[in-house]
Amino acid sequence: MSPSFIDDNKDCFKIAFDYSPTGIVLATLDGYLNKVNSAFCKMLGYDKDELQNMHFRDITHPDDLESSLDNVQQLVHEKISHFQMTKRYVCKNGHITWANVNVSMARDESQIPLYFIINILDNNKQKDMEAQLERKAYFDELTGLVNRNQLEHLFDRVLSTSRRHNRKFAVLFLDLDKFKQINDTLGHAAGDQLLKLTAERLKNCHRSDDIVSRLGGDEFVVILTDLSRDDSAAIAAEKIKNSLLRPAKIMEHEVYMAVSIGISIYPTDGVHYQTLIRNADSALYKAKENGGNNYQFYTNKPNLKDHRTIDFESALLEALDKNEFQLYFQPKIDIIQNRVIALEALLRWQHHEFGTVSPQQMLPLAEETGLIIQLGDWIINTACVQTSLWQRAGFPSLTVSINVSPRQFRQPDFADSIIKALNISKLAPHFLELEFSESLAMQDPEYTLQTINTLKNLGIKITIDNFGTGYSSLRYLQRFGVDHIKIDQTVIQNAHINSWDASLVVAMIELAKNLQFEVIVQGVETKEQYTFLKNNGCDKMQGYYFSVPMTIDNTTEFLKEFKF
């Protein structure tokens, strides 16, 4: 475009500049703002006259100055043609605003630099959402305490410090006595109040360096980070017990809380997270056996629970040989096309002594013992064969979705085991989805990227499971080439009645779609949840509202008769 054309049409360019919804700035080579448009002024809260001739460092967050200057130098010296970055600006009122910035350079016919052209797009919505996701990932929504995910991360820090300084620390596993009775008698709202009050009292009992966490239900864990005295853990447990015994006013009722506490000590009772938690839980069991409202230290003397654990582990190891495992299937529904788009394969174990064993009970032990490798192979092989049979029986486009465990994913021959299962079953790769949790994907991003690339090159689809419960970088998810994001049940549970949750869910759906991810929401249980999600752009769902997990025979009937 020639300069004369620009001059002839300068009014058009002025209108485009002034009315652009994104910020536009023309800056001199020494960094002064020469021209700014209305959108940029609005973003920072300045008038045009105030911003013009201001230096860019006056509105740039100090922590972003160095990276900004490095990029500018490369641009001036023609090492790059333009650059993009996410940075923080300081508004007139002192607040910080995030923006995606694209900077290029205008040059004359001799390529001499004239001025910088800067496009600025408000990025606060994405940053706010990432902050909300991080909070949901690491903190318990009800009590505000650290949750199970974050507890393990913080434990690693405590462990590292304790090893370095040769210090002891204690793990206290707490369970409220008769909580279920209070919850059933006074209702869930009263139970929630009681849990929040418990969290407050626990926080008030401890030093700032100690860690207070809610695992779920009425279970809490406290880590005492530095045991300066041998009796420090006992003193802390007694303090907790007495604090919780004080009467509490819940829903116009006076309630007395008692607590059972199990204690394990590092390094005497273990040097790993799972070991110390398990041993504190074993000590908690003894406290319950002794009538509750007391604390017990872990001892490695055998007790009833230890024997049961050993029996359970032995039974689990034998279950594959005895053909005790079954696969159930739960459909994923496209509500617009009114069809089943995939079936998620879910493991079930029926044992003659232990009864129906939930995945929550067996999978951690299978992971710990290494059985998860054989079990994972069995699940993949069985699910692929069954899906191939369904396709030949009249459901040719049916896809199967399979969860992958951390230990299974880290096996060097993991991709080979998938290829083998596909070859045996004659299932085309694009009819297989593999689901990974957020936390698994982010443990070693480079390994994850390499493995996912291998799988995707085969045509296999990749889903990030439980999205919103673990904090993953959205940029990494894009880099991984993820096909689907599966929003977790805990995120949407109250979205139809809670405006904060509703805003978060809507933002997650919008952002995921903008990033070209296909969204599915799991755990849809009620008509209200379904209607809320449908009205807010979610067209793929899974949950008890549509169907419980089903046996193979029942799934076949469901596929034949499905109407929605």
Render pLDDT for 84-141 as a digit per residue (tens, 0 to 9).
998 999 999 999 999 999 999 998 888 888 999 999 998 888 777 777 777 777 899 8
Pair 100, 121: CB distance under 8 Å: yes
- Two tokens, residue 151: 């507890």
Closest C-alpha to 320, from 387, 369, 278, 360: 369
User: Which 8-state DSSP code applies to residue 114?
Assistant: E
Buried b / exposed e over 23-37, threshold 16 CB at 10 Å, is: bbbbbeeebebebbb
Give the integer Cα–Cα distance in Å for 135 and 147.
10
* Full DSSP string of 474-520: HHHHHHHT--EEEE-HHHHTTTTT-HHHHHHHHHHHHHHHHTT-EEE
- Two tokens, residue 503: 């805003």
- Two tokens, residue 244: 């919780």
Q: What is the pLDDT along the chain (564 residues), one digit of tens a residue?
A: 444 444 555 677 788 888 888 999 999 999 899 999 999 999 999 999 999 889 999 999 999 888 888 888 888 888 888 899 989 999 999 999 999 999 999 988 888 889 999 999 988 887 777 777 777 778 998 999 999 889 998 999 999 999 998 999 999 999 998 888 888 788 888 899 999 999 999 999 888 889 999 998 899 999 999 887 778 899 899 999 988 888 888 887 888 788 999 999 999 999 899 889 999 999 998 898 888 889 999 987 544 345 456 577 778 878 888 888 999 999 999 999 889 999 999 999 888 777 777 787 788 778 777 788 899 999 999 999 999 999 999 999 999 999 998 889 888 889 999 999 999 999 999 999 999 887 777 777 788 888 999 999 999 999 988 776 554 556 667 778 889 988 877 778 777 777 777 888 888 888 888 878 899 999 999 999 999 999 988 999 999 999 999 999 999 999 998 765
Q: What is the model's pTM?
A: 0.54
Give the integer Cα–Cα distance in Å for 233 and 223.
10
The helix (H) or strand (E) run that includes residue 297 is strand 295-297
Q: State the pLDDT at residue 81.
A: 85
- Two tokens, residue 268: 């005497």
Domains, the chain, with CATH or none: 3-122 (3.30.450.20), 130-301 (3.30.70.270), 309-561 (3.20.20.450)
Q: State the pLDDT at residue 301.
A: 54
